[in-house]
Amino acid sequence: MNRTRIYFDNAATTPLLRGAREAMAPYLAEFFGNASSPYAVAREARMALDGARTEVAKIVGAHADEIAWTGGGTESDNWALLGVALANFAEKGHFIVSQIEHHAVWEPAQTTLRELGFDVDFARPDSEGIVHPDEIARLIRPDTRLVSLMSANNEVGTVQPLREVAKVCRENGVLFHVDATQSIGKTPLDVDFFEGQTLVGGADLMTLSAHKISGPKGVGALYIRRGTRTKALIRGGAQERGRRAGTENVAGIVGFAAASKWARQNLASHAAHLETLRNHLENGLHEVAGARIIAQNVPRAPHICAFILENQRAESVALRLDLAGIALGTGSACASGALEPSHVLAAMGFSPRDAKSALRVSFGAQNTIEEVDELLAVLGGRLGF
């Protein structure tokens, strides 16, 4: 059976950090109690949740009580949009979502928000995948409830002008949701945005996910700024101060906190490592016939390189690379199997033909220059591309 030797799909998920696995172990066995119960084994779980909340809050400059645990980034994104919608259900109103959001934002905006009676506009990116603040300002209405914009795109890596968009939102009294799934642990990130010493805006809601930073799958968080008007999406219990029902995944949350601590303490060196790998790959891609790098002239998250291989089907290339022991992506893992080309690349103006030839390499802490050279050798002709 073929086994992956080289893993280049870290934007989809990351290997579990050893420290996270070790931190989780006691809460899978010895400290198994329900954190909502009153006895000793449960109090250990409750203390672990409180400590983890404080640690995860640090990575985005939040207060601990502003962090609410979820089952992952998708739930957090859904909650951000639909929680605000439920809080404004009687008045209805208007939402703005960018055309290049992850499906966890894009699809609820396309369907559920409209089914609930809200108007939705989709902000256009430029050809490099940047959503400019002028575009957000153009779409804002007096009844706009929320703007949702990801910090870094999961398919092409473009970093969005969050500070400028936050400023527009604050000036218009509109809530701002940031999907930070691809940014935490790779770029500096804070829930408040400054110009010099002046606070000009901030995220009112922010999506975080554990498994993108070498934490466990199935655990996420939603940052909810104090005073933000929102409602619970999952109901049936008083957990998370009544914000999200359901027994907390204590072991997973502890693992999330361990991964967050590592990511925060090693941010600069980790980002530099990722950028070195990406630059080495892109220098090599210039020598690969038919390769075109996407969004290479704008700020990007350091771990993502998206490129087109002209006259090649991305799925076919990925399968041949898999046979060679190399795993990489063809876009969002959450959209794999879709027959339609990427909605992100379509919004950026790429033709369906080019969009179906797009590949994504995303790096992690475990990757090396030698692995990049192996990929370049394969793309350079060893498998007949």
**258 and 273 assigned to the same domain:** no
Give residue-wise pLDDT tens across range 71-80: 999 999 999 9
Final residue of a structural domain among 217, 247, 265: 265
Q: What is the tens place of the pLDDT at every residue in 210-235?
A: 999 999 999 999 999 999 999 999 99
Residue 334 appears among annotated catalytic residues = yes
Q: Are strands 205-209 and 175-179 parallel, antiparallel or unpaired?
A: parallel
By residue count, the chain amounts to: 385
Domain count, the chain: 2
Q: Is residue 40 domain-shared with residue 123, that is, in the same domain?
A: yes
124, 201: one domain: yes
pLDDT at residue 381 tops 80: no
What is residue 330's predicted lDDT score, i.e. its pLDDT? 86
- 316-361 confidence digits (pLDDT tens): 999 999 999 999 998 654 555 555 789 999 999 999 999 999 999 9
Which residue intervals of the chain are DSSP H helices?
A: 18-28, 40-58, 73-87, 103-110, 112-115, 133-139, 162-171, 250-265, 267-285, 314-323, 343-347, 352-355, 369-377
pLDDT at 41: 82
At 12 the pLDDT is 97
User: Tell me, what CATH number does 201's domain have?
Assistant: 3.40.640.10
pLDDT at 1 over 50: no
Q: Say if residue 159 is in the same domain as residue 201.
A: yes
Residue with tokens 């502890």: 254
pLDDT of residue 279: 98
Domain range for 29: 18-265
Query: Catalytic: which of 334, 346, 373, 383?
Result: 334
Residue 1 lies inside a defined structural domain of this protein: no
C-alpha dihedral over 259, 264, 268, 271, to 10 degrees?
A: 40
Are residues 213 and 236 located together in one domain of the fold?
yes
- Looking at the fold, whether 361 and 275 belong to one and the same domain comes out as yes
| 328: CATH | 3.90.1150.10
If 0-12 CB within 10 Å is exposed, 13-18 middle and 19+ buried, where does residue 26 land? middle
